[in-house]
Structure 1
């Protein structure tokens, strides 16, 4: 089960979530642009439902956000990574109930074709996507999430290598 998130200094809990580093056969990482914030690119991520373990949540979020489960699990971060929401977003996101997120990140090898990726899901979050080299990933991310992405890259980039043809 997922550990209970700690309370922040502001007295708000952290939302428990997962993140997905989806890696193609060329060793590139999937990123998508958020519908609600066109300057914000990110890897798929989302909350953990009650009673759900992190790995199950990662598989569910992958399908909910990018319309596919064509992947193999490669690994995960050793611990939970977190960020605080900027003050101007705290009241808007998640009904103002959370200080930020604590996430468990997973690396997956994408086993499908690009055509298998479908952003037109039941509750779309993205309007565009692309594959990027892992060394350019962090620069695409909104500043308040960059420290988490730096940690994800430090722990999971070893999986982002080209596969033999």
Structure 2
């Protein structure tokens, strides 16, 4: 784990993300409940004592309802990727404890059917979902995450549509 700090000397929140692709190489994207028209891939914090892989698979289940027996691990990002919060969120998001996130990502192939996706989870984060082309996803996310998403999708580009 890195001890790199960012703006205001704050640390980066460790996070795991999932690039879930279907048989056509399209990427799962969910529209955030709290930010209309902002789409993202499943992602979330890594809990104490949890490995990156455990966190990524937990986030997959918590945010999409997709069980781990319906995915195949294809690849992972070799290093952490970072993003900084925009100034208006710095000191507010995550109770002001972090300046942004450092993330590792898993590329997973979805082996189930669309009916296996259920975003109406115990603590829903998305109100809609769809399969998107990677470039369309980049056009649909909040701007401050765009660079890290571009980096992650570029790492996995050879396996995407």
Same fold (TM over 0.5): yes
Runs of 4+, deviation exceeding 3 Å = none
Note the residue ranges of structure 1 that are not aligned, 5 or more in a row.
Answer: none
Question: How far 1:157 moved relative to its partner?
Answer: 2.0
- Root-mean-square deviation over aligned CA pairs: 1.2
For residues 1-80 of structure 1, the aligned pairs below 5 Å read 3-69=1-67, 70-80=70-80
Alignment partner of 1:46: what SS? strand
| Conservation of the 8 A alpha-carbon contact between 1:84 and 1:101 | yes
C-alpha distance 144-121 of structure 1, shift in aligned 2 (>3 A)? same
> Would the aligned equivalents of 1:83 and 1:148 in 2 still touch at CA under 8 Å?
yes
**By how many angstroms is 1:86 displaced?**
0.7
Q: Deviations over 1:30-88 (max 9, x none)?
A: 00000011121001100001011101111000001111122110001111001001111
Q: Measure the CA separation in 1 of the matches of 2:127 and 2:143.
A: 20
Cα distance in 1 for partners of 2:39, 2:46 equals 21
Q: Quote the Cα distance in structure 2 between the aligned partners of 1:135 and 1:113.
A: 23
TM-score, normalising length from structure 1? 0.92
Stretch of structure 1 that moved more, 63-72 or 98-107 = 63-72
Query: Which moved further from structure 2: 25-34 or 6-15?
Result: 6-15
* Residues 40 and 140, structure 1, Cα contact 8 Å, conserved in 2: yes
**d(CA) in 1 for partners of 2:71, 2:77:** 17
Q: State how many pairs are aligned.
A: 159
